[in-house]
Amino acid sequence: MIVFSALKSTHLHGEILQLARPVGNSESLSVHDEYHFGGYGKMHAQLSAFIDEFEGSTGIPLDPVYTGKAMFGLFEEIKRGNFRFGSRILFLHTGGLQGKKGLEYLRQNKKTMYLGQSTQQ
């Protein structure tokens, strides 16, 4: 089992493993904290491009705070060869889409910082 953290911190690694220990899953659990794109709620052009491409090719919406980062991480781990050929992968989409419409509104109306650059004219 693989967990992807959206936080720019390693403190969750131990907590997640500790929570998994009573149900016997900690030995097979891998926690990745390198796909945070600057931390919780932070966006990055590479992540935005990935989400747009993924949604365009699959029709599955991703949010930029949680599932977009996790799916990006999963794709990177696949590219790195960290799964055996023919493996079956189950990705649990945890939601988080409620903020996506608000982000789109802000992007269209240029009223906020987006992708690390001011978009207000």
Asked whether the whole model's pTM tops 0.85, one would answer no
Question: Comparing 55-64, 82-91, 103-112, which segment has the lowest mean pLDDT?
Answer: 103-112
Q: Is the pLDDT of residue 100 over 70?
A: yes
Which neighbouring-strand residues pair with 52?
none
pLDDT band at 119 (very low <50, low <70, confident <90, very high): very low
Domains of the chain in sequence order: 2-118 (3.40.50.1100)
Q: What is the pLDDT of residue 27?
A: 67
Mean pLDDT for all residues in the chain: 80
Per-residue pLDDT of 8-25, as tens digits, reads 877 777 787 777 777 666
25: left (phi over 0), alpha (psi -120 to 50) or beta: alpha
